Amino acid sequence: MIEIPSILESTKPILYETGYDEWMYSYAGSCFPVRWGMNLYIVSAFHCYENHKVKPEDTLYPIPINQNEFFGYCCTLRAKIDEANDLKHYDQILLQVSREVHGVEQISSVITNDLSDINSIICLSSREIKDVWLRGYLIENDLHEVDYAQKKIKQQAYVTNGLVSSRKSFFDFCHMLKVKTPVPVGYAPNGMSGSPVYATDQSGKTRLAGTVIEYNSYTDEFLVIDSSVIRELLRRENA
């Protein structure tokens, strides 16, 4: 059984090279991995790349067994549900890790849910949910820095939990989620987009509930794309 601390560690910032010598790296939001069998994917909100004018394939996701190296990708995927009445759920992108470049050891070193198991996901409207957990990278964080001398990139994630409420959104395949402390006092929510929402059920199992794409400052709720959207896409891709 995957424990919450372990799977939360797999959420990373969308780190990318800027092309500028003065500040070679920057952040564009959050991202997280999912797996279908031995196929590994890095997931995020598509608007993170659009807003920062970053190519998705430039995402620097570190390989756990060698933090100085990053995964390479073979393709990108977008999930679109034909019967949906709107496209809010389309604000999601998956980068498939190249199996030709990365072997079983590197891919299996990533701790994440295998979505080929239907029990690895859960809907935020489910009564089985005991609590929810989010981990993301707020862009306005003074603890983000690059140590060029030590060749280390330092970043500080924000972790929160404490389910207050969950309700279906006006947008198809989306939910509105409220937690006790959505962001630290004094911080803007920018950067939480692309982070996963994990839920622990009554049996203690950790399951993927969805992907954060927006924050409503009036209601203090996150807008979350349901995890079924990703799973259906990967089911078709891996059929």
Check residue 42 and give its pLDDT: 98
pLDDT tens digits, residue range 37-48?
Answer: 999 999 999 999
User: In the chain, where are the structural domains located?
Assistant: 4-237
Class of domain 4-237: mainly beta
pLDDT tens digits, residue range 148-167?
Answer: 554 455 667 899 999 999 99
pLDDT tens digits, residue range 111-120?
Answer: 999 999 999 9
Task: Check whether 146 has a pLDDT greater than 70.
Answer: no
Confidence band for 134, pLDDT divided at 50, 70 and 90:
very high
Q: Is 49 exposed, middle or buried (0-12, 13-18, 19+ CB in 10 A)?
A: buried
Helix ranges (H only) for the chain are 4-8, 46-52, 104-108, 227-237
What percent of the chain clears pLDDT 90, i.e. is strictly above it? 80
Check residue 152 and give its pLDDT: 54
Contact assessment for residue 96 and residue 74, using Cβ atoms and an 8 Å cutoff:
yes
For residue 109, the surrounding DSSP H or E stretch is none
Contact assessment for residue 107 and residue 98, using Cβ atoms and an 8 Å cutoff:
no
Through-space distance between the first and last CA atoms of the chain, rounded to whole angstroms? 26
Q: Any idea which residue has 């891919």 for tokens?
A: 107
Check residue 193 and give its pLDDT: 97
**Shortest CA distance to 15 belongs to which of 90, 68, 79, 91?**
68
Residue-averaged pLDDT of the chain: 92
When computed from its CA atoms, the radius of gyration of the chain, rounded to whole angstroms, is 17
Task: Kindly report which listed range (163-177, 184-198, 212-226) carries the lowest average pLDDT score.
Answer: 184-198
Check residue 141 and give its pLDDT: 63
Phi-psi region of 210 (alpha: psi -120 to 50; beta: other; left: phi over 0): left
Query: For residue 207, what are its two tokens?
Result: 């399951």
pLDDT tens digits, residue range 17-58?
Answer: 888 777 778 889 999 999 999 999 999 999 999 999 999 999
